[in-house]
Amino acid sequence: MTLAAQVGHIARRSVRRTIRQPANVIFPFVFPMALLAVTSAGLNPATKIPGFPTDSFLAFFLAFPFIQGALFATMNAGTDLARDIQSGFLNRLALTPMRGGALIAGQLAGIATMGFVQAVFYLSVGLAVGVHLASGVAGAAVLLALATVIAIAFGSLGAFFALRTGSGEAVQGLFPLLFVCLFLSSMNLPRNLIEIDWFRYAATANPVSYLIEGIRSLIITGWDWQALGLAFGIAAVLGLTSLAAGAWALRMRLTRT
């Protein structure tokens, strides 16, 4: 059996088990939308700040759900994998001819699918409530691609934590940490408008800011190649580093001969 076929089977299982857990479906779809509604209503006056890049806070803040959705992907991917380790399901898979890489790739393919579906939903809601996509139809395609890549990157991080610790609780412990990273980013204001120095420095040093700004650029600016390059680059570095670490952790865990 080819590696691609193995990946396909594991990915199908990953998607199937995700959609069978209501919490895994409801939270990534509802929470980001609820936060989008509340925040954009409450912080709309911020658009009056001189230099604010758009007159719609909804459009400005629409980048946030894509990142929050990716964080949910981290937790779901990691928790599911940790559950496989704890239940012995990983050993069952290890006794088949399945290649180690297929396990991670399959899990990530499932995450990518969910990440893509979530992104389509967020974008559809945004367009439905009147957000104009400055980069047009092609920009929508790039936005969906970027959101999927970010979901894969965070999913890889969750998979690494799961494989390293074998504990769903440890993976869930990662979520608040990543959430803090999200709040210490440029999600609410452009970095140049953050007046508190330490916050601005933190947001500038925080890679999550650049992921948000990449998505945001497609929504409110058009084609900002620097922002897009940084977002894709950071997602790729995070994803590849986590993937390499995950592959190492899998080798440590799967001691089959």
Partner 1 sequence: MNAEHGIEAEGLVRTFKGDIRAVDGIDLAVEPGEIYGFLGPNGAGKSTTVHMLTTLLPPTAGTGRVAGYDIVREGPKVRAAIGAALQEAALDNLLTGREHLRLQCALHGISRAERRRRSDELLDRVGLRLAADRKVGGYSGGMKRRLDLALALVHRPTILFLDEPTTGLDVQSRSALWAEVARLAREEGVTVFLTTQYLEEADALADRVGIIDHGKIVAEGSPSELKAQIGRPTVEAIPRDGTDPAAVARILEQFGEATGGSPKGVAVRLTHGVTDLAGIVRALDAQTIELEQLELHAPSLDDVFLAKTGRSLEGAGEEEEEPEPA
Is 43 or 94 the residue whose CB approaches partner 1 more closely? 94
Is 57 or 160 the residue whose CB approaches partner 1 more closely? 160
- Out of 89, 116, 199, 223, point to the residue binding partner 1 (CB under 8 A): 89
Helices 225-253 and 207-216: crossing angle in degrees, nearest 10, is 130
- Nearest distance from residue 167's CB to partner 1, in Å? 13
Counting contacts by CB under 8 A, is residue 248 touching partner 1?
no
- Out of 5, 34, 38, 49, point to the residue binding partner 1 (CB under 8 A): 5
Site residues for partner 1, 7-36, by CB under 8 A, read 9, 13, 16-17, 20-21
Alpha carbons 15 and 77: distance in angstroms, whole number: 10
Counting contacts by CB under 8 A, is residue 4 touching partner 1?
no
Counting contacts by CB under 8 A, is residue 88 touching partner 1?
yes
Q: Which of 152, 164, 12 is nearest to 82 (CA)?
A: 164
Residue tagged 């399959």 (tokens): 106
Count of residues touching partner 1 (by CB under 8 A): 25
Stretch that binds partner 1, among 27-35, 56-64, 127-135, 249-257 (CB under 8 A): 249-257
Counting contacts by CB under 8 A, is residue 128 touching partner 1?
no
Alpha carbons 224 and 218: distance in angstroms, whole number: 7
20, 52, 157 from 16: Cα distances, Å: 6, 43, 21
Counting contacts by CB under 8 A, is residue 96 touching partner 1?
yes
- Nearest distance from residue 78's CB to partner 1, in Å? 16
Is 50 or 97 the residue whose CB approaches partner 1 more closely? 97
Applying CB under 8 A, the residues found at the interface with partner 1 are: 1, 5-6, 9, 13, 16-17, 20-21, 84, 87-89, 91-98, 253, 255-257
